[in-house]
Amino acid sequence: MLGSLLKAADMTRKLPAVLDALPPSTWLAQSRQLASGLLDSRRFAQALLARDRTLAGHNIPVVLRPHPGPHARHHDGMTADRRAHTVLTLFFHQLLMGDDVLLDLRHQAFTAHADTLLWSPHALVARLEPPFVGTVQRLYAGLLAPDAGMLDDAVEGLGLGAARALLEEGVGGTAPGHALFAVLALCVEARVELPPDVLPWALCVASLQQHLRTLGVSVDARSAFTAAGGSLPERRAGARWATAPATR
């Protein structure tokens, strides 16, 4: 499954850049953690149950379904716009709520049923460290608000200060996954040592990007962030993420 995720999300060229920015001992430890869901069915089942509860508690129209059935060919009445908004909301929700993050957000992991997405992820699970999660939350909030102080704090916390302009461009129109991996490539060139949790975060972003690119619509990232439980100040226009293939 991991190989197919990397291929579908065009990460076969990008993953080495991520790994180069992590010490070998770190990415080996992260790889073992990612494999834990595959090797420990009980842990994966617990992660599914916990995530299903948080989704229901926040009225996000996604239901975990461990055993996938036939997938809908035409979204079963759910528009591509609505599906894109729901999946991006799910992505933000996992960063804002709960402990374990289910990394498989690929298009083929979901089936649309009326106004609900049935989610059958493969067993790739990560538990991100709270300081990293808090920094990434501030990163997205700072980009979407926009809030320059919050953004500066987040990019410095992640060691991404030199690549701030690329991150802002990712929210301003370029597909966000491509912006993230361009940022990581710059970090490798600058010999910046990234936090260990960048690896599972990058995998989750890659699968999100594959799903959004398949839908081929733009999505209001600010609206999705607030629907997931994030808090942002008011402004006149929401940032939109393009989901067509990036031209970069």
Pair of tokens at residue 170: 């990712």
Tell me, what's the pLDDT at 158? Answer: 76
Using only C-alpha atoms, what is the Rg of the chain? 17
pLDDT grade for 92, boundaries at 50, 70 and 90: very high
- The number of domains in the chain is 1
Structural element, H or E, at residue 111: strand 110-113
Residue 243 lies in a domain: no
Residue 58 lies in a domain: yes
Coil, strand, or helix at residue 58? coil
The rounded mean pLDDT for the chain is: 74
Tell me, what's the pLDDT at 37? Answer: 59
Residue 246 lies in a domain: no
Q: Which residue has the higher pLDDT, 218 or 66?
A: 218
Residue 239 lies in a domain: no
Can you give the residue range of the structural domain that contains 198? Answer: 2-233
For residue range 125-179, what is the model confidence (pLDDT) as tens digits?
Answer: 888 889 888 888 888 888 787 777 887 888 787 777 666 665 666 544 444 444 4
Position 9 pLDDT exceeds 60: no
List the alpha helices (DSSP H) in the chain.
2-8, 15-20, 24-39, 41-57, 80-96, 130-144, 148-158, 164-172, 176-189, 198-215, 221-227
Coil, strand, or helix at residue 28? helix
Residue 98 lies in a domain: yes
Q: Which residues pair with 119 in a beta bridge?
A: 64, 110
Residue 242 lies in a domain: no
For residue range 27-85, what is the model confidence (pLDDT) as tens digits?
Answer: 566 666 666 656 678 888 999 999 999 999 999 999 998 765 554 444 456 899 999 99
Tell me, what's the pLDDT at 60? Answer: 95
Q: Tell me how far apart the alpha carbons of residues 209 and 106 are, in angstroms, rounded to a whole number.
A: 8
Residue 244 lies in a domain: no
Tell me, what's the pLDDT at 39? Answer: 66
Report, as an integer, the average pLDDT of 93-110. 91
**For 161-181, b where at least 16 C-beta lie within 10 A, e where not — what string?**
eebbebbbbbbeebbbbbbbb
Q: What angle do CA 185, 26, 17 make, to 5 degrees?
A: 15
Pair of tokens at residue 177: 């996954």
For residue range 191-212, what is the model confidence (pLDDT) as tens digits?
Answer: 666 777 887 888 888 888 889 8
Residue 245 lies in a domain: no
Q: State pTM to two decimals.
A: 0.79
Cis peptide before 146 (omega within 30 of 0): yes
Residue of 227, 198, 47, 56 lying closest to 135 (CA atoms): 198
